[in-house]
Chain A
């Protein structure tokens, strides 16, 4: 791999959000509206609250969508909140979300973005669209529990 170089990005977090099937598009849209980049969505099957409700449980979709979004530390709380609201996670049976620290990430970064980021700060900035907001204390475990 001579002549090629991998850039590691730090200060990244992963938000994982599990919602009922067909809700994911809303949530991803909300996250993208406040600056999140890529989202990966998978289908999953969930148990728990559904089985404890008896027949009313059919009202909760057994099929879930699991959204994974990688965000910068600065935008993390904002994206987290936007997703929480878009997913209506304050209603019963709608889902749960959490956030993890990542050691580092690696992906393709366009040259112009790279140049931009190196000009801007001593530390490499992870996002293509650098955020204006200064760093803020990060919420380590803002588990949404109704």
Chain B
């Protein structure tokens, strides 16, 4: 089984995570895309919205727990308004 761990984070955090986790053996794939959000962060650099990064990580379900914790730590979620991390089961995998 395989699990997707995703995170909506501050802009710039995505590429940092990508660089740090690239060599992690437990991670099957990591992708970063850019988006915008209106109310995830307190600081909105363009007035009504701010840019953010969306990180998608694919892991074996047995590793999901550890990676999820790792990401939440790295994303520094204990700070107010710093983003969100989710974990989602996936159906099928081929690689």
**Interface residues, chain A, CB within 8 Å of chain B?**
1, 4-6, 12, 14, 28, 32, 37-43, 66, 68, 70, 100-108, 110
Contact = CB atoms under 8 A, between A and B. Distances in A.
Given A40-B8, A101-B88, A106-B77, 6 more contacts: A5-B78, A28-B38, A41-B36, A104-B68, A105-B85, A106-B84
A102 B85 contact: no
Contacts of A38: 8, 37-40, 84
17 contacts: A6-B72, A38-B37, A38-B40, A40-B35, A40-B36, A43-B35, A66-B35, A68-B35, A103-B87, A105-B86, A106-B68, A106-B84, A107-B83, A107-B84, A108-B79, A108-B81, A108-B82
Which 8 pairs of residues, A with B, have the shortest CB-CB distance? A42-B35, A107-B84, A103-B87, A105-B86, A38-B40, A106-B72, A106-B85, A40-B37
A68 B80 CA distance: 21
Interface residues on B, range: 20 to 34
Given A38-B84, A40-B52, A101-B89, A108 B35 contact: no
A39 B37 contact: yes
Nearest to A3: B78
B54 interface: yes
Nearest to B9: A40
B57 to A, nearest CB: 13
